[in-house]
Amino acid sequence: MVDFLRSRILAFRYAFAGWWYVLRTQRNAWIHASMTILVSVLGVWLKIGIYDWLFLLVAAGFVWLAEFLNTALEAVVDLASPSHHPLAKVGKEVGAAAVLIAAGVAAIIGLAVLGPPLLARLAGLG
């Protein structure tokens, strides 16, 4: 049992090291972090419902998942092909496209969820 717990603690340590690596090395991760914080603050300010929070959570989660997988893919491609290779370029570009798709869908979801209550709140201020 002790070995099992020790291995789980190590697994979490590796996962957090990966998380820190992404935040430390990927500029777009800071854009994702900023947007995640902005959307969260807006959601709290607008007092959105639980299902709206679930939509936003899934959308943000997919963006982060895509960014983390893209970072891992880029590292593996760099390891496997240190010199420039056309297929390495394709792999990196497709990974980047996956992040772009996830971010675009998340933006649409964010606008659909937060747009109407934000417009209503802003109209009430004027």
Q: Which domain holds residue 86?
A: 28-125
Mean pLDDT on 92-101: 97
- pLDDT(86) > 90: yes
- Map tokens 């240190």 to a residue: 82
Residue at 1 is within a domain: no
Which positions are catalytic?
Answer: 67
Q: How confident is the model at residue 124 (pLDDT cuts 50, 70, 90)?
A: confident
48 touches 113 (CB < 8 A): yes
126: pLDDT confidence band, cut at 50, 70 and 90? low
Q: Is residue 9 part of a domain?
A: no
What's the confidence (pLDDT) of residue 53?
98
Segment 24-28 shows an average pLDDT of 94
Q: Indicate if the pLDDT at residue 115 is higher than 70.
A: yes
pLDDT for res 97: 98
> How distant, in Å, are the alpha carbons of 19, 46, 51, 75, 111 from that of 41?
22, 9, 16, 33, 14
Q: What is the mean pLDDT of the chain?
A: 95
CA distance 83 to 105: 34
Residue 25 has pLDDT above 90, yes or no: yes
Q: Where are the alpha helices (DSSP H) in the chain?
A: 2-25, 27-46, 50-80, 86-125
End-to-end CA distance of the chain: 62
Return the CATH number at 113. 1.10.287.3610
> Has residue 8 been placed in a domain?
no
- Quote the number of domains for the chain: 1
Residue 45 maps to a domain: yes
Is 14 domain-assigned? no
Cβ–Cβ under 8 Å, residues 98 and 69: yes
